[in-house]
């Protein structure tokens, strides 16, 4: 092979590489992710009434959020409680099941934090020890005293859209 042949092959390889990169980049521009639009409102169903109904010590909910996490959609929620006492397993179980049965879309992760405003002081409510008693759910810590939960289908059955 002569230098000229090697030079042509090098130019051909560079040209093909550039075309491949341009083609891949173009695919991202031509077909954007439909879930990436921040203007589309997210439907949370009746979460604001279902969660306090499930556990009377939850007096309100705040900041419902949906985000993509690589496996599906994560649901995040802040619970406002009547006291700073830690949750019992039964209380947390009722909250998580209410979320699972109420959301109009299937969350693969539920992230919860809780707090109480008593005597002018904001107390963090610990959910971690209660979450440890929820068999079938995988639990990781999230924020101060909060938890992220996965495996709801194993504990509560397959997700179905609310009626």
Q: CA-CA distance, 81 to 113, in Å (whole number)?
A: 11
Per-residue pLDDT averaged across 86-90, rounded?
96
Report the pLDDT value the prediction gives residue 23, as an integer from 0 to 100: 46
Output 8 or 37, whichever has higher pLDDT.
8
Report the pLDDT value the prediction gives residue 5, as an integer from 0 to 100: 55
Report the pLDDT value the prediction gives residue 101, as an integer from 0 to 100: 97
Report the pLDDT value the prediction gives residue 15, as an integer from 0 to 100: 52
Render 122-133 in DSSP notation, one character per residue.
EEEPP-HHHHHT
CA nearest to 71, candidates 23, 106, 36, 116 = 106
Q: For the chain, give the mean pLDDT.
A: 83
Residue 152, class by beta-carbon neighbours within 10 Å (0-12 exposed, 13-18 middle, 19+ buried)?
buried
Using the predicted structure, report yes or no on whether residue 10 has a pLDDT greater than 50: yes
Q: CA-CA distance, 137 to 54, in Å (whole number)?
A: 19
DSSP 90: H
Using the predicted structure, report yes or no on whether residue 27 has a pLDDT greater than 50: no
CA nearest to 57, candidates 128, 116, 141 = 116
Using the predicted structure, report yes or no on whether residue 59 has a pLDDT greater than 90: yes
- SS3 at position 118: strand
Tell me the sheet residues that pair with 149. Answer: 110, 139
């Amino acid at each position: 092979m002569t230098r000229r042949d090697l030079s042509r092959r090098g130019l051909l390889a560079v040209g093909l590489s550039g075309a491949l990169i341009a083609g891949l980049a173009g695919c991202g521009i031509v077909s954007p992710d439909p879930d990436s639009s921040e203007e589309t409102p997210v439907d949370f169903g009746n979460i604001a009434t279902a969660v306090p109904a499930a556990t009377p010590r939850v007096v309100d909910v705040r900041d419902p959020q949906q985000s993509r996490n690589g496996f599906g959609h994560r649901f995040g929620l802040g619970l406002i409680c009547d006291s700073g006492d830690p949750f019992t397993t039964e209380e947390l179980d009722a909250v998580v099941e209410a979320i699972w049965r109420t959301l109009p879309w299937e969350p693969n992760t539920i992230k919860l934090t809780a707090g109480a405003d008593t005597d002018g002081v904001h107390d963090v409510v610990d959910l971690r020890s209660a979450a440890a008693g929820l068999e079938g759910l995988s639990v990781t810590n999230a924020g101060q005293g909060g938890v992220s939960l996965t495996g709801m289908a194993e504990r509560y059955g397959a997700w179905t859209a609310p009626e």
